[in-house]
Amino acid sequence: MSWRSLLAVAVLVGAVVVSWLLGSAPGTQRRAGGAQDVPDTGYYLEDATFTETGADGSVLYEVAAAFAAQSPADQAVTLRQVNLDYGADETAWVLDAAEGRITDDRRVIELSGNVTVRSEGDDTPVIVETDTLVVDPARKLATTTDEVRIRLGAHVLIGKGMQVKLDEQHLELEAAVHGQFVP
């Protein structure tokens, strides 16, 4: 074999090694079709549904997400395109958000990005819009410190900060409350 042939083989082998190293960057892998980066460890699910139950076996809430991934570092679950159905006793709330996070101890659900909360089962549902919301299912409580817009039919209330007692259908704005009631 001539020195030119050896040089060509060496360049080709080098290109293969560099290509392999760049294609397998640590921490993530690319799925077929290139749709999402997914973690190397932990788990990820598409079109996932989680049901959380209380100590007595009753359903506290159900979470559906277009994508869910568990972080191996802290065991938290990251969610995308989140829908949370919270049915406490006879009351029901539906919460939607662009993103969410279930903490590692599974006690808190953090929602963010175009968060919408709707009461279910009423003739005129209450619709709440905010940027972030923290839900504590065990305490049956949802809170935010962000601006909140509440719609009840043609009526609108705007405030800053909110606390919702999900089981009592009790909603309380904390500050800077402004409203418009159209007859």
* Structural domain contains residue 114: yes
* Structural domain contains residue 121: yes
* Structural domain contains residue 165: yes
Domain with 132 in it: 42-180
* Structural domain contains residue 34: no
* Structural domain contains residue 33: no
Q: How far apart are CA 44 and CA 60, in angstroms?
A: 23
Tokens of 17: 């090694």
Tally of domains within the chain: 1
Tokens of 182: 């159209």
* Structural domain contains residue 167: yes
Q: How far apart are CA 111 and CA 100, in angstroms?
A: 4
Give yes or no for a contact between 86 and 78, defined as CB atoms under 8 angstroms apart: no
In the sheet that holds 77-88, the strands lie side by side as: 44-53, 59-70, 77-88, 91-102, 109-120, 126-136, 141-152, 155-165, 170-180
pLDDT of residue 149: 94
* Structural domain contains residue 31: no
pLDDT at 154 > cutoff 90: no
| The most confident of 6-10, 14-18, 28-32, 49-53, by mean pLDDT | 49-53
* Structural domain contains residue 9: no
User: What CATH number is associated with residue 148?
Assistant: 2.60.450.10
pTM of the entire predicted model: 0.73
pLDDT at 25 > cutoff 50: no
